[in-house]
């Protein structure tokens, strides 16, 4: 019998500053839910190479990166997560005009929480949407 991998990983309220996510920490094909909320991931986001592991999580359905000090460059690494239904980015350092790249494949996304950021608008291939954080706690598609 082979190894049994976790399908849900909850890592909250740790200081993971500068942590390097290596291959083999978990089975990317089996992981369904990842909660890294309330962590200091600033060391990971300064070096984009540390974010590339996110794009390997193709079976991920729920991703919570709330309160992790993430910046706009994080969005470049989320486009391949086609199984994602819930994405929580509340309370980060997202700001200005957000442009979702062509090829962003978040086709199953139902809940997107962008509250408590400094976003002015979100632009995708479907047009530009003015984001008003007073009207949305979560965006339901």
Question: Which domains does the chain carry?
Answer: 8-16+25-140 (3.80.10.10)
For residue 131, pLDDT over 50 is answered with yes
Under 8 Å between Cβ of 116 and 90: yes
Give the residue from 69, 134, 65, 127 showing the smallest Cα distance to 97: 127
Under 8 Å between Cβ of 54 and 77: yes
pLDDT digits (tens, 9 = 90+) for 21-80: 555 555 667 788 888 888 777 655 555 566 677 778 888 999 999 998 888 878 777 878
Mean pLDDT of the chain: 72
24 or 122: which carries more pLDDT confidence? 122
pTM here is: 0.74
Give the residue from 108, 102, 103, 72 showing the smallest Cα distance to 89: 72
Which residues touch 62 (CB under 8 Å, ≥6 apart)? 32, 33, 34, 35, 84, 85, 86
């Amino acid at each position: 019998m082979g190894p049994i991998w976790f399908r849900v990983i909850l890592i909250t309220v740790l200081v993971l500053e500068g942590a390097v996510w290596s291959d083999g920490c978990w089975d990317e094909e089996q992981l369904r839910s990842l909660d890294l909320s309330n962590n200091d991931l600033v060391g990971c986001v300064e070096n984009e190479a540390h974010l590339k592991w996110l794009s390997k999580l193709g079976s991920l359905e729920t991703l919570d990166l709330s309160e992790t000090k993430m910046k706009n460059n994080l969005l470049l690494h989320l486009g391949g997560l086609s199984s994602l239904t819930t994405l929580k980015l509340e309370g980060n350092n997202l700001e200005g005009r957000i442009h979702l790249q062509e090829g962003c494949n978040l086709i199953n996304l139902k809940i997107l929480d962008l509250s408590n950021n400094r976003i002015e608008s979100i632009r995708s291939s479907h047009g530009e949407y003015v984001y008003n954080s007073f009207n949305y706690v979560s965006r339901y598609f």
